[in-house]
Amino acid sequence: MTLPRRAALALPALMLARRAHGQPAFPSRPVRIIVPYTPGGASDIAARLLAEHLPSAWGQPVVVENRAGANGIVGTEAVAKSPADGHSLGLVSVNHAVNVPLYRTPFDTLRDIAALTVVYTVPLVLVAATDFPANTPQELAALARQAPGKVSFAGTGGAVHLAAEMFASRAGVEMTHVPYRGSTAAHPDLMAGRIGVMFDTLPAVLGHVQGGKLKALAVTAARRVEVLPAVPTVAESGFPGYEAATWGTLIGPAGIPAPVVQAIADATASALRIPSVRERLMGLGAEVVGSTPDEAQAFIAAEVAKWSEVAAKAGIERQ
């Protein structure tokens, strides 16, 4: 019998994992992916896409479990405390790194949790009402300098908040944070001009920008995004090195045998090469990644360091 192509691609790593120092075959039972957020978001969609396609490579079911709470901490703790055999995984967003400087977590993000592969990244967009007096990041900075603390930005306690704090720090200006429970809750006030600006995810604001309800001043990616080709990056708008994004990374508890880690990363990368999977994620405004485990670990460490520095400069105390 001929194996499906994506299963064949993952097979060498799986065979290696099964010979790993007497470890039982992986996977030897169903695999679960804990999504520490409510259903419907990018992390949840990505996890369900993987759950649909990984069983053909592994020969075992993959189930998704939503365990939301405390900005993702509840579900991530469940992953951290699971057996380190690869059968309990998680798919976390940028909140995984942002939580380090914001909250006292019951686990050490870098020591107790292994990053297995970065699945995707999604840029943020700096948006404002169509009649907001600034049209570029430079004009926004100038406006904030003229009236320190008078320009407000909406934030939700995660990367959406800290991206604005990072901009204010880089620009050397003072802006006022107005907290909201979620980004969509801030959109009506933003459109009405009651809030100055907001850094929000591309999928969350794309329809408003394309529909003429909000204007995009810049995107936070390293390069311009395909769906908004005329919108410059923050970096090219006078703030070199500025980059922020939300993302989805597959994680597991620390201590999973290296061959099993590699098998999971390889099978995930194979699934991410399937055209329908790529199209679905790209439809969310995501850039599909599929990194190696070493790249994923380095990426998370860099994100933790970046957002910790931003929070420290903004004077945000850990709760």
The per-residue pLDDT for range 170-204, each reduced to its tens digit, is 999 999 999 998 788 999 999 999 999 999 999 88
Residue 226 — very low, low, confident or very high, per pLDDT cuts 50/70/90?
Answer: confident
Q: Which two tokens stand for residue 80?
A: 């951290």
Q: Is residue 16 pLDDT above 70, yes or no?
A: no
Q: Is residue 7 pLDDT above 70, yes or no?
A: no
Provide the whole-model pTM: 0.86
> Which residues have CB under 8 Å from 269's CB, separation 6+?
117, 290
Which of 55-64, 155-164, 248-257, 261-270 has the lowest average pLDDT?
Answer: 155-164
Burial class (CB in 10 A: 0-12, 13-18, 19+), 52: middle
Q: Is residue 1 pLDDT above 80, yes or no?
A: no
Residue 247 — very low, low, confident or very high, per pLDDT cuts 50/70/90?
Answer: very high
Radius of gyration for the alpha carbons in the chain, expressed in angstroms and rounded: 20
Sequence spans of domains, the chain: 5-121+246-314, 123-237
Fold of 123-237: D-Maltodextrin-Binding Protein; domain 2 (3.40.190)
Q: 5-121+246-314 and 123-237: same fold?
A: yes
Fold of 5-121+246-314: D-Maltodextrin-Binding Protein; domain 2 (3.40.190)
Burial class (CB in 10 A: 0-12, 13-18, 19+), 255: exposed
Q: Which two tokens stand for residue 42?
A: 């990018």
